[in-house]
Homo-oligomer: A and B are copies of this chain.
Amino acid sequence: MSRDISERRKRLLAELVEAGREQSTATVMFHTAVSALMGLSPTDYKAMDLLERFGPLTAGELAEHAALAPASVSGLIDRLERRGMVRRTRDAADRRRVIVELTLAVGEASRYTIYGDLINGLNEIYATYTDEQLETVLDFLRRSAAVQREATARLPAELPEP
Smallest CB separation, A162 vs chain B (Å): 5
Q: Are B134 and A137 in contact (CB under 8 A)?
A: no
| CB-nearest residue of chain B to A6 | B131
Given contacts A9-B131, A138-B15, A162-B84, contact A148 B46 (CB under 8 A): no
Q: Are B37 and A155 in contact (CB under 8 A)?
A: yes
Residues of B within 8 A of A49 (CB): 25, 28
Q: Are B138 and A22 in contact (CB under 8 A)?
A: no
Given contacts A24-B27, A144-B122, A144-B125, contact A9 B113 (CB under 8 A): no
In this complex, the interface size class of chain A, counting residues with CB under 8 Å from chain B, is: 35 or more
| CB-nearest residue of chain B to A142 | B19
- Choose from B31, B38, B140, B145 the contact partner of A22 (Cβ within 8 Å): B145
Known: A23-B144, A28-B31. 16 other contacts (CB 8 A): A8-B131, A12-B131, A12-B138, A16-B122, A16-B126, A16-B141, A19-B142, A30-B148, A30-B149, A30-B151, A84-B162, A113-B160, A117-B147, A121-B147, A122-B144, A124-B147
A residues lining the B interface (CB < 8 Å): 6, 8-9, 12-13, 15-17, 19-20, 22-34, 37-38, 42, 46, 49, 53, 84, 105, 108-109, 113-115, 117-119, 121-126, 129, 131, 133-138, 140-152, 154-160, 162
